[in-house]
C-alpha cells in the first residue's frame, strides 16, 4: 500500500493549529510519541502561550498565523484543535494545500457545515479524520466485541444518562458578568449549540460505534430557568443555548435508544452511564469516567457479573492517532481499520444532533446562530408578519415585475435552473420557498417568497452573484439604473393556513 502523504513520505510530520488545553495531555504528546509520527510545529494566536507549549513539548517551530504553518513544506499533515466555528474555514485551507487533516469534534456546527467539509475532501480524495477517539480505546473496543460475539444476546435497548451540576460561574453570579465571560461552549455561533455539541457528541458516536447506526431520531431540547434569585423576575438568562436534551431513536434490529443530558443539575450529583441491554445480559459503562466495564450475563437462574478494568491511555487520543498514522504511511487501508474515525461517522453524529436540537433552534440547515430571534427555544414561535419583526414562522413577501413582450419563454428557460451559486445565496439568506408566476395578458411576473428574516432578505441584493444575475436578465425585462428589475412590493390583504 502506498503512502497517502506528499512525496510518499514514510513519516507523518504534524502541524497543530490551536494548541490549547486539549493538546496538553489528551492529544499533543501523542503526535511525537506515536510510531512514524513527529510534531514539527504549532500555531497559536498567543505568542507567549504558543512558545511556552513548544518549550514544554520540545516542538521546534511556532507560528502565529494559520497560513504560515500551512506553507511549511516540512509539515505533511494537520491537526485542527480550535473551536468548531473555525473548523470549516481552516479545513478548506488545508484542502487547498493537499494536506491530510485531523479535526477536533464536532467537525462542524451543524450537518450542513459537516457535510460540506466531508464532500470537498472526498472530491479531492484527501484523507479526513475526526477526533472521536474513544473508538480506539480498549474499554469501548472490548464492549463492541462482546456485543458482536453475542455475549449479551441480541440488543433490545440502549440508554444513556448524563447529569452534571451547573457551571460554578452561573451559581449566584450576575448575568451581566457571566454573559461577558461565556466559554465558547455556551455560544451557539462558536459551538453550534450548548454543551451537547462538545460533550454529547462523544457518547452518540461511541454508541454508533458499538451498537450500530442510529435512525428515526426525535429530540426535545430546553433551557432550564437558570436565573439567580436576585434576577428571577427579569428576562435575563446567563446564556441563550439549551442545557437539557432528551433524544430517542432506534437501531436496525429494532432496539430502542433513549438518552438524556442535563447540564444544569444540582451540586454534587454526577451521572454518566451507558446501559446496553440484551436478551441474555447487560453492559454498563461510562463515556467519560475511568470506571470499569460492567458485564452482567444470565446463566440459568443466576446472574454473573464481571467488572473489567480497562483504563484509558495516558494520552486519550494516542491509539486513534497511531491508527491514523498507520493509514497515512500506507501500513493500513483506512476502510479496513475498525477503530478509525473519519468524516463518515462525524456526519452521522451531526445529523442526529441537528434532529435532537431542531425544536430549540428551528431550521439548523444554515447559519442559524446568527438569528436568535428565530429560535423557538427562546420563545420566538409566534406568527407575526409585521414588516418590522422577525418570526420563527416564515415571513411572506410578494412583489410584481414585468418581462418584455415575447420574452416569456426565454425568461423561463433562464430559470430552469437558476445558477447554483444564486440558489445557494438565496437559501443562505433565509429563503424558505420562492415562486414566480406569469400573467399572459399583461406580461407581469408575480413573485412570492417565504423568508426567515427581512434584513437577510434585503441583503441578497448586495451580493455579487445577485447583481450579476440582474445584468444577465437585463435584456429581457425592464430594469433600474443599478440593473435591478423594476418591481413593486405587494401588500397582503388576506391569508389562511392550517
Q: What is the mean pLDDT of the chain?
A: 91
pLDDT band at 456 (very low <50, low <70, confident <90, very high): confident
* Average pLDDT over every residue of 482-487: 94
Peptide bond into 333 cis (omega under 30): no
pLDDT at 428 over 90: no
Residue pair 451/473 in contact by the 8 Å Cβ criterion? no
**Per-residue model confidence (pLDDT) at position 300:** 85
Greater model confidence, 3 or 172: 3
The span from the CA of 398 to the CA of 7, in Å, is 58
Query: Can you read off the three cell numbers belonging to residue 491?
Result: 401588500
**Residues 6 or more apart from 250 whose CB is under 8 A from it?**
214, 215, 216, 256, 257
pLDDT band at 174 (very low <50, low <70, confident <90, very high): low
pLDDT at 171 over 80: no
**Which of 498, 437, 427, 411 has the alpha carbon at shortest distance from 465?**
427
Query: Can you read off the three cell numbers belonging to residue 405?
Result: 413582450
β-partners of residue 450 are 396, 433
pLDDT at 179 over 90: no
pLDDT band at 226 (very low <50, low <70, confident <90, very high): low
**Residues 6 or more apart from 68 whose CB is under 8 A from it?**
43
**Per-residue model confidence (pLDDT) at position 301:** 86
**Per-residue model confidence (pLDDT) at position 220:** 96
Burial of 104-116, coded b for 16+ CB within 10 Å and e otherwise, reads: bbbbbbbbbbbbe
**Per-residue model confidence (pLDDT) at position 390:** 36
pLDDT at 167 over 90: no
Q: Which of 87-101, 169-183, 277-291 has the lowest mean pLDDT?
A: 169-183
Residue pair 495/396 in contact by the 8 Å Cβ criterion? yes
Greater model confidence, 498 or 82: 82
Set out the domains of the chain in order of their start, with CATH numbers.
6-130 (3.40.50.720), 138-311+343-372 (3.30.360.10), 382-489 (3.30.70.100)
* Average pLDDT over every residue of 16-33: 96
* Average pLDDT over every residue of 214-225: 90
The span from the CA of 328 to the CA of 333, in Å, is 9
Burial of 448 (0-12, 13-18, 19+ CB in 10 A): middle
pLDDT band at 176 (very low <50, low <70, confident <90, very high): low
Burial of 121 (0-12, 13-18, 19+ CB in 10 A): buried
Beta-sheet pairing, 302-308 with 61-63 = unpaired
pLDDT band at 424 (very low <50, low <70, confident <90, very high): confident
**Per-residue model confidence (pLDDT) at position 324:** 98
* Average pLDDT over every residue of 53-70: 97
Order of strands, edge to edge, in the sheet holding 444-451?
431-439, 444-451, 395-402, 488-489
Residues with active-site annotation: 415
**Which of 393, 403, 494, 493 has the alpha carbon at shortest distance from 446?**
403
pLDDT digit string, tens, across residues 75-113: 999 999 999 999 999 999 999 999 999 999 999 999 999
**Per-residue model confidence (pLDDT) at position 382:** 41
Order of strands, edge to edge, in the sheet holding 244-250?
215-222, 244-250, 256-265, 155-165, 271-278, 281-285, 293-299, 302-308
Alpha carbon 446 to its chain's center: 38
pLDDT digit string, tens, across residues 362-418: 988 888 998 888 899 987 644 333 333 334 568 899 999 999 999 999 999 999 999
**Per-residue model confidence (pLDDT) at position 452:** 83
Share of the chain above pLDDT 70, in %: 92
Query: 320: number of CA atoms within 13 Å, CB side?
Result: 26
**Per-residue model confidence (pLDDT) at position 177:** 63
Beta-sheet pairing, 256-265 with 155-165 = parallel
β-partners of residue 259 are 160, 247
Amino acid at each position: 500500500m502506498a503512502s497517502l502523504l506528499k512525496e510518499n513520505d514514510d513519516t507523518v510530520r504534524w502541524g497543530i493549529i490551536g494548541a490549547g488545553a486539549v493538546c496538553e495531555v489528551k492529544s499533543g504528546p501523542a503526535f511525537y510519541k506515536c510510531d512514524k509520527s513527529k510534531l514539527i510545529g504549532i500555531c497559536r494566536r498567543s505568542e507567549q502561550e504558543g512558545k511556552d507549549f513548544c518549550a514544554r513539548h520540545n516542538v521546534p517551530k511556532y507560528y502565529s498565523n494559520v497560513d504560515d504553518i500551512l506553507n511549511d513544506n516540512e509539515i505533511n499533515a494537520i491537526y485542527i484543535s480550535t473551536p468548531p466555528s473555525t473548523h470549516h474555514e481552516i479545513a478548506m485551507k488545508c484542502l487547498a494545500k493537499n494536506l491530510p487533516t485531523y479535526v477536533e469534534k464536532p467537525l462542524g456546527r451543524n450537518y450542513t457545515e459537516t457535510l460540506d467539509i466531508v464532500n470537498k475532501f472526498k472530491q479531492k480524495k484527501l484523507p479526513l479524520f475526526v477526533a472521536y477517539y474513544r473508538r480506539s480505546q480498549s474499554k469501548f473496543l472490548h464492549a463492541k466485541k462482546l456485543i458482536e460475539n453475542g455475549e449479551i444476546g441480541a440488543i433490545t435497548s440502549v440508554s444513556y444518562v448524563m447529569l452534571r451540576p451547573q457551571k460554578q460561574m452561573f451559581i449566584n453570579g450576575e448575568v451581566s458578568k457571566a454573559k461577558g465571560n461565556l466559554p465558547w461552549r455556551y455560544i451557539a455561533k462558536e459551538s453550534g449549540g450548548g454543551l451537547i455539541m462538545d460533550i454529547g457528541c462523544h457518547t452518540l458516536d461511541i454508541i454508533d460505534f458499538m451498537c450500530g447506526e442510529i435512525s428515526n431520531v426525535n429530540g426535545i431540547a430546553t433551557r432550564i430557568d437558570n436565573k439567580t434569585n436576585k434576577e428571577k423576575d427579569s428576562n435575563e438568562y446567563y446564556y441563550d443555548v439549551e442545557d437539557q436534551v432528551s433524544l430517542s431513536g432506534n437501531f436496525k434490529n429494532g432496539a430502542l435508544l433513549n438518552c438524556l443530558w442535563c447540564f444544569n443539575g444540582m451540586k454534587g450529583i454526577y451521572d454518566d452511564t451507558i446501559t446496553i441491554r440484551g436478551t441474555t445480559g447487560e453492559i454498563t459503562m461510562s463515556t467519560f469516567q475511568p470506571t470499569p466495564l460492567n458485564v452482567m450475563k444470565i446463566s440459568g437462574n443466576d446472574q454473573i457479573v464481571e467488572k473489567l478494568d480497562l483504563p484509558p491511555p495516558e494520552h486519550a487520543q494516542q491509539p486513534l492517532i497511531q491508527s491514523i498514522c498507520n493509514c497515512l504511511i500506507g501500513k493500513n487501508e483506512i476502510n479496513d481499520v475498525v477503530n478509525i474515525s473519519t468524516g463518515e461517522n462525524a456526519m452521522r453524529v451531526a445529523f442526529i444532533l441537528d434532529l435532537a436540537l431542531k425544536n430549540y433552534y428551528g431550521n439548523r440547515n444554515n447559519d442559524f446562530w446568527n438569528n436568535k430571534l428565530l429560535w423557538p427555544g427562546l420563545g420566538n414561535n409566534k406568527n407575526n408578519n409585521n414588516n418590522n419583526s422577525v418570526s420563527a414562522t416564515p415571513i411572506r413577501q410578494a412583489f410584481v415585475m414585468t418581462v418584455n413582450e415575447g420574452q416569456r419563454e426565454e425568461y423561463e428557460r433562464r430559470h430552469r435552473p437558476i445558477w447554483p451559486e444564486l440558489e445557494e445565496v438565496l437559501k443562505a439568506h433565509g429563503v424558505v420557498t420562492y415562486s414566480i408566476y406569469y400573467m399572459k395578458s399583461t406580461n407581469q411576473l408575480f413573485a412570492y417568497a417565504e423568508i426567515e428574516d427581512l434584513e437577510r432578505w434585503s441583503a441578497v441584493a448586495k451580493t455579487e452573484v445577485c447583481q450579476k444575475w440582474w445584468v444577465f436578465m437585463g435584456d429581457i425585462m425592464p430594469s433600474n439604473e443599478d440593473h435591478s428589475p423594476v418591481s413593486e412590493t405587494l401588500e397582503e390583504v388576506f391569508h389562511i393556513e392550517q
